Structure 1
């Protein structure tokens, strides 16, 4: 198959998207297909992508995860990896996600603001952009001076900002991959950053974070993870793969967000969980491509 890898875009995650795309390119080539990388913002992108029946979506952040690229590909009649527009909108917009799921799963209390406000929670708490990824613009706030400074900074950069309870616990990710019509839960991954939390630098700098697969998680935790997975898949329609970011405090799991186009760099969480399950990166990409082979052939 000739497989275009759509990447790049204009978001603050552009660099990470290209790092993911390079890994996907190498795997697609290793699997005997013919990959080509297309930058979403190239002037001739539309004319080029219309030559294909299937594309691999590796656009992190705006356009790739917010539903715009999936909508365009739907209009053009091109099959693609990762979730469709409705699911992307409901997960990329963190306030929509909170509003949709707060009565079904545990999520830290969250408020939305587009202006300077008084601290709504006891310190420490979190501020983050309403729409963004890779922990860009996410800060743990310890005092009033930090709150004023970072809230003003995020408001100027992102306009809409979430203020959220800080749940202190073990950071984990819960990854799912689709094989045929079934979603498979990969080993839970515990994230131990050498910084205060798993921020952009910790995510993409070698040596700043330990990613530890929890191969013998207690049955009680696995049961709660399965309940969370079942609940989100009951309400939203996912495709190929997705990742849930969460905090484990004691036996309680607090969901932070869901990523519909997870990172596929050499340091990313989902591929690390897949390797812990005995699935190499090439095998992971092969599984995803095979989800689409029959539709593309038809």
Structure 2
């Protein structure tokens, strides 16, 4: 197949994305696919970093505008675009919406599910609707914080309480996540959060064992199949960015050494959530195992694919090696056409 791998991007998770995308491109090339590696710069330009063995090169290597990149896609016509992107602009439906214009299939969920899962405040409503076990939480707005922070703090303390977790609504890799143990620290981090966002999620802190359950769509039936649960044992207070990607930052056990019924319950929730948001290809649902049972945290529709990422570890525990995993994802996506209803019938880049 002809495959474009997209990585980089405009989010703080850019470096992680480059690692994911490079590893994916290497694996697909090893499997004999013709791969073009495209880096999205921090300014949102497109650069051909890895030239395909065949295909047009007259467009040069860039940097290209979005329209010029679309022209490259229309000229080379890959079978699928593999999204190695993370965070804002990559997981939130933005690049997915752009790719709908090309009519070329891409990996991962479509626009709506991507946007829904990326927005932590909106996703909480899905968990509540499903009756999933989730921590008490409240969404605060910048307007109410500016107008009357005492009242906003009071509402947060009543609904979510302290200790609590302050989260930016659209960040991943634990960026923009702070555990706060007292009102003074909470106020400081809310000030920091509202300098970046207009909405902030405050949820109750529920300590316990950190677990994650990934699902992978079956290539024949298209139905989501749960992978073995992974337990994460971070060296610090929680599984933050350093714990995820620094050497020795965390111990990850696959399969998780937990009771079979707990693993089965989390896998069931992962599948139910994947179906409810109309997820596609693969996703990963994170949870805490507390003294009172599972607490579902969030679902990631484009989980990382670096050497230290959790999805590849779960797949390996199921007997799926990394090269097989990414090829399976690419093949399944190539059979799923982009949503033709999302773009005009007659469109040409530069017109």
TM-score for the superposition, normalised by structure 1: 0.93
Residue in 2 that maps onto 1:46: 70
CA contact (8 A) 1:38 1:45 kept: no
**Paired residues for 1:24-103 under 5 Å:** 24-40=24-40, 41-42=44-45, 43=65, 44-50=68-74, 51-52=76-77, 53-103=79-129
Partner Cα separation in structure 1 for residue 114 and residue 14 of structure 2: 18
> What 5-or-longer segments of structure 2 have no aligned partner?
46-64, 338-351
Q: Is the 8 A contact 1:177 1:185 kept in 2?
A: yes
Cα 1:34/1:183, change in 2 over 3 Å: same
Asked if structure 2 preserves the Cα contact closer than 8 Å seen for 1:5 and 1:56, the reply is yes
Asked if 1:23 is matched to 2:49, the reply is: no
1:75 is displaced (CA, Å) by 2.2
Which residue of 167, 178, 184 corresponds with 1:128? 167
**The one of 205, 211, 230 aligned to 2:246:** 205
Residues in 1 aligned to 2:326 and 2:118: alpha-carbon distance in whole angstroms: 23
* 1:202-224 Cα distance to aligned partner (Å, 9 max, x none): 11101110011135642321332
Matched, 1:246 2:287: yes
Alignment check: 8 A CA contact 1:179 1:287 kept: no
TM-score, normalised to structure 2's length? 0.80
Secondary structure of residue in 2 paired with 1:158: coil
Alpha-carbon deviations, 1:187-236, whole Å to 9, x = none? 10100000110011111101110011135642321332243134213422
Distance 2:267 2:240 in 1: 26
Q: 1:215 to 1:62 in 2, by over 3 A?
A: closer
Secondary structure (helix, strand or coil) at the match of 1:28 reads helix
Q: Offset at 1:293? A: 4.3
Query: How many Å apart are 1:60 and its aligned residue?
Result: 0.5
Post-superposition CA distance 1:249-293 (Å, at most 9, x none): 146211111000000111111111111111111111121122134
Seen in structure 2, the aligned counterparts of structure 1 residues 234 and 81 have a Cα distance that, compared at 3 Å, is closer
**Cα distance between partner residues in 2 of 1:67 and 1:146:** 33
Q: Which has the larger radius of gyration?
A: 2
SS at match of 1:136: coil
Say what the alpha-carbon RMSD is for the aligned residues. 1.7
For 2:332, what is the secondary structure of its paired residue? helix
Equivalenced residue count is 296
Question: Aligned residue for 1:274?
Answer: 315
